[in-house]
Structure 1
Amino acid sequence: MGRRDRSDLPMPEVRSAQFLTITTRSPDPTEPDDGCRPSVAARIRSMGDARLGAVALLTATLAAIVWANVSYTSYHDFWDLRVGAFIGDARLDFTMHSIVNDALMAIFFSVGLEVRREFTIGELTNTRRALVPVIAALTGLVIPAVLFAVIASSTGHAGAWGVVISTDTAFLVGALALIGPSAPGRLRVFLLALAVVDDIGALAIIAGVYTDDLALWPLVVAAAGLGGVYATRYLPQGRALAYTVLALVVWTAFLESGVHPTLAGVAVAMVVPVYRPDRRQVEHALDLARSFRQSPNTKYSRAAANSLRSSISVNERLQLAYAPYIAFIVLPLFALANAGVRLDGDILAAALRSPLTWGVVVGLVVGKFVGVFGSSAVLKKLGVGEFGPGLTLDRIAGGAALCGIGFTISLFIIELAIDDAAAQNEARASVSSSHRSSPSHWRQ
């Protein structure tokens, strides 16, 4: 009888429940809301889709380059501006640049939420299928580093091989958004999984190679905080506050340990619970939607929206909540704070003659392509791993070309591995050139 009732349920009732979920979603992604006003996130999301976010990122990059070339001093003075606060005897002191790079970018690296979902309930639950992007990511770390070290061996900066190891996840996602329908969904999952494994490897290299003083006790605190995040799912109430406090504890612990604090975003994302939608909650939401249709009032509206939202895992709710802030605030600010490279004739001429420049360009553009596409082709030839339907080598070749876009981690490591200001400018200019070289080889 119950099944017959659900099949007789008019389609408009289902759409009403979905519509309510969109229009009444709370800024708090883990707790039901008390009101019906659209959240700030919903307003930001109304600015446009992922393509508009990619345009915002590119616009901020161009703005940083123009600003740095019009007034290089004011650009660096602004981002070197120190801001701080006192809490008792403790002092918090950051530059504007570190607020963006160390704090806001930790939110960006919650992109691991989507990858965790794919590994748990999505495309990559099949171990053989998950093996392909993982191996591609690892070879995509090694081959660029080797090429860079060989080419830049005469410069005294061969130890900066970390500059070329990482695919920029932000620009990769933006490029896929601009490419649109010609990039199939399975290729996006493949590239995103590859990029997150790539980022974890790169951040681990930062901790192990480019960090001078590594403190172990803060890492113990971070591990305890991550355990707390994992256990928070069992709290009957107050989960939002618990997630927030524990995430701040993990971030602070990473900062104090000497490990780059953006790794906290990846670590927290990997332990946030993910599960398939709760069918009982969905059915209950449909019953409430029916009641709302028969007797429209805010009580039934909120109840239906909250019930449907509660059936979705915290992982997916957090991803939906953070996405607009990352696309339209965090990433443009990061580009504005880091992409300011002087491009006068002398610098460009020196860059063109420098083995450091060519080491970066060849490492990113050629090394990434060879590492990602080459390993995928070998795996397919040997029958190791599994390629999803539609994930052809031609499409992987196009995706491998996009993997040569370096930015986020590359700019981090330039600051850590290269002391000379002129060499830093050369490296930044060559990283920027990878944006133009890699996407030009896109193949459908």
Structure 2
Amino acid sequence: MTPSAAARTALDLTAELPVPALEDLYRDLHRHPELSLREHRTAGKLAERLAKAGFETTEGVGGTGVVGRLANGDGPTVLLRADMDALPVREETGLPYASTADGVMHACGHDLHVTWLAGAATALAAGRDTWRGTLLVVGQPAEESGQGASRMLADGLYDRFGRPDVLLGQHAAPGPAGLYPHSPGLIMSAATDVDIVVHGRGGHGSRPESTVDPVVTAAYLVTRLQTVVSREIAAGESAVLTVGRIEAGTRHNIIPSEARISLNLRSQSEAVRQRMLDAIRRIARGECLAAGCPREPEITIGNTFPVTVNDADTDRTVAAVHQEVFGAGTVFDPGPAMGSEDFPQLALENAIPYSYWFVTTTPAEVWDRAPGDTLPEKFAAVPSNHSPHFAPDLSVIAPGVRTLVSGALALLSVA
């Protein structure tokens, strides 16, 4: 469809969305969050709605993934994806529908993503007389751990259900509710997890001279690592190095034998990523050598997320229909974010074009009372993804359904 036809059709198909039922689904998912690869209940809720809407529905793809397929004549195959997993975060929102799972929370909005996907799939199935092609609706597990997309592909996602011609995905984000940021190119960064084990020589806290204290070495290492971005990456490049965890010891008066440090790196090019990794290896080995550690540190590269780079033509098409559906000023290019996603893995190394965008979800009253006079100051002040206070506004449920419906219609064939 042309953007205008897609916009008109999307508005028609979503004019009478069952918003109260979708809100109930969202509250239910939020109350019952599930960690990566444990999304059994969430998957069941999504599969139930897809089957009811008329999709050929399969559960257990890649572990806990869900796939719904709706073939509707000749035309392109469009894949709509939502991630389903929650985070090991203790919720502090105070919401009446707060998490009932101790220490687990939908702090990244994946419960909202599943709700949007269920609503969009139902609306598109009900309006199948307006379009031709095939819809693949994917509930993906384990985005937070970077395992979900690859596990679904390894389990034959495209061999079993058909290879899509285009992929669509969206993510809840902080910002005044009612905006739909798009970037026709790089929109999210690569991420790499790194674990370091510092080996010392343990002993009694009263006799440090007989030990090699890995805690002190780890402390120097953490401090020195802060210079990687500030002193080894060019000012024009974007990079972040975060020490997310440091662990050592069991008692006040015991010098342990090892200390563990966990890092997360963000970069927007492979060259910068490699430069950071080289620096980490060099600094870790150098600090351990200076401290007299009995052996070199263990450095392990963990989960890695690719950069998310939208196909420019596809994203401009989707952004155009969003502009028509939601009005002037609602769609803008924020530039690339330092967040990351495993969604691009579904594109098979950019062999399949895709569009990935954001939906801002901060309640108006929270945004308005946030301190600061500039947008960056306000963005820094409102609860962001992964915060124990992250609480999207329920007003974004219907618009988030419309973004998926209109985006899909812009890429499917006219009936």
Q: TM-score, normalised by structure 1?
A: 0.21
> Going by fraction, where is strand more abundant, 1 or 2?
2
Q: TM-score, normalised by structure 2?
A: 0.22
> Going by fraction, where is helix more abundant, 1 or 2?
1
